[in-house]
């Protein structure tokens, strides 16, 4: 994910992720309930997928073992990956930076 997301792009990605989570409700791999703050949405030219963070990390690890880290990196550059952990971390950091001094 690009390091310089505009406020609008950040908002759009969060809404897309929220929509995907609300449609899926459960992780298709493990069957656990999806949490938007820990879900990963992948979009390719032909398919879109959603998974929980632990299943995503497990998939990446299996791919690295089978195909090598370089090939996995190549595949990931072809996909648009929206990581809820990163989005909500950025939003939290941004809101903390905007709080006036002395505010709770």
Q: What is the pLDDT of residues 1-56, one digit of tens each?
A: 445 668 888 889 999 999 999 999 999 999 999 999 999 999 988 889 999 999 99
Domain presence at residue 20 = yes
Q: Is residue 1 part of a domain?
A: no
Q: What is the pLDDT of residue 6?
A: 83
| Higher-scoring residue by pLDDT: 58, 101 | 58
Range of the domain at 69: 7-90
Q: Which residue, 12, 6, 4, is CA-closest to 82?
A: 12
Q: What is the pLDDT of residue 88?
A: 87
- Does residue 47 form part of some domain? yes
| Residue 96 located in a structural domain | no
Asked if residue 2 is part of any domain, the answer here is no
CA distance linking residue 100 with residue 25, whole number of Å: 37
pTM: 0.75
**Does the pLDDT at position 97 exceed 70?**
no
């Amino acid at each position: 994910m690009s390091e310089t997301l505009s406020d609008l792009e950040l908002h759009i990605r969060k809404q897309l992720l929220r929509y995907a989570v609300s449609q899926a409700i459960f992780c298709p791999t493990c069957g656990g309930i999806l949490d938007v703050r820990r879900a990963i949405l992948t979009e390719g030219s032909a398919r879109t997928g959603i998974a929980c963070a632990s299943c995503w990390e497990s998939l990446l690890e299996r791919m690295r073992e089978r195909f090598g880290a370089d090939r996995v990196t190549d595949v990931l550059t072809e996909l648009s990956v929206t990581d809820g952990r990163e989005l909500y971390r950025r939003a939290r950091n941004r809101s903390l930076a905007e709080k006036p001094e002395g505010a709770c």
